[in-house]
Amino acid sequence: MRCTNRFAGLALGLVMALMLGGCGSVSYEIPYNPDSDISSFNVISRQKPGVAQTFASDLCIVTGNLMDDEQVDMSQAGAAFLVDVGHHEAMYAKNVHERMYPASITKIMTAIVALKYGSLDSMMTATDAIIITESGAQVAGIKIGDTMTLNQALHIMLIHSANDVALMIAENVAGSVEAFVELMNKEALSLGATNTHFVNPHGLSDEAHYTTAYDLYLIMNEAIHYEQIQEIIRMTEYQTTYHDKDGNEKAITVKTTNRILNGTYQAPSQVTVIGGKTGTTNAAGHCLMLLSRDTEGTLYISVILRSTSKDVLYTEMLDLLDEIEK
């Protein structure tokens, strides 16, 4: 109870100071600093079992690296994290609290916010907010005036990693992209992802758009409570028909960007990959987050950020998954 007593003593001292000195004569402030010894993360990480049960009792808490370089080679990954969700246990951790660009893994949070504040059968209309100018960015090719349901849009966004559709979702759910991003950051803080800051719903490059492998674990841990997200991230292909501004039908077929789901790479025999989200930009490198289960049905979340190439990324991820049931 060391930290609890410390805060109680601080609060009592401030009350006494105000009583003795008079209101308004002296200003007392405790400025927020995410790196402070009394940040929410540091308080939780130092508690003994039984403290802060309402928030952290069902989460994996990691304060530093947990690596075995002789068995798992993550030398070309910026960060890597493997968590046994059922037992709240970290099995591997490298640089999990270091801020990095998440690229399109961002879209998992976009899906969470869309489902929390939107309705699957609501009709969405594309405006000029969908225009993407970044060279090489993945798009579905929707046009201004096109309409589709939120359910259709979520499938296209998560399976095809469509950046234009992510913008359409954001604007239609919250009224503007900016308002939607505010909801994303609000949700991140509510999950304890205090080293995360979003500036867009798709993950394209921006210096102020960042997260950590640990925070992505927190986000995915929340995402698995949404049946629709679990259903979509395991799909290898999706076909649907939406409409243009004149009501004409437009057919689209999208295929997964996940190379384990499409069979390019095979998961270890003791592991079933349920699904996940890929992400690639020049700034972020090659990123991947997966939800998997072992032969007993225990769930695992694995994250790799800033790998040097797609081939290296998947080789690293398979090595990470091989740690399950060793």
pLDDT tens for residues 70-86? Answer: 778 999 999 999 999 99
pLDDT tens for residues 94-106? Answer: 999 999 999 999 9
Q: Which residue ranges form the domains of the chain, and what is each CATH number?
A: 2-61 (no CATH), 95-321 (3.40.710.10)
pLDDT tens for residues 315-324? Answer: 999 999 999 9
Q: What is residue 16's predicted lDDT score, i.e. its pLDDT? A: 45
pLDDT tens for residues 123-135? Answer: 999 999 999 988 8
**Residue 94 CA, distance from chain mean position:** 17
**Residue 280 CA, distance from chain mean position:** 14
Between 64 and 32, name the one with better pLDDT. 64
**Confidence label for 185 from pLDDT (cuts 50, 70 and 90):** very high
pTM: 0.83
Closest by CA to 184, choosing from 203, 162, 199, 163, is 199
**Confidence label for 55 from pLDDT (cuts 50, 70 and 90):** low
Query: What is the amino acid identity at position 102?
Result: P
Q: What is residue 57's predicted lDDT score, i.e. its pLDDT? A: 73
- Asked whether residue 52 carries a pLDDT value surpassing 90, the answer given is no
Between 173 and 53, name the one with better pLDDT. 173
Q: Strands 299-307 and 285-294, how do they pair? A: antiparallel
* Residues found in the chain: 326
Dist. CA 198–CA 200, nearest whole Å: 6
Task: Say which residues have a Cβ less than 8 Å from residue 218's Cβ, sequence separation at least 6.
Answer: 59, 191, 192, 193
Q: What is residue 19's predicted lDDT score, i.e. its pLDDT? A: 44
- Residue range 187-210: average pLDDT? 97
What percent of the chain shows pLDDT beyond 90? 77
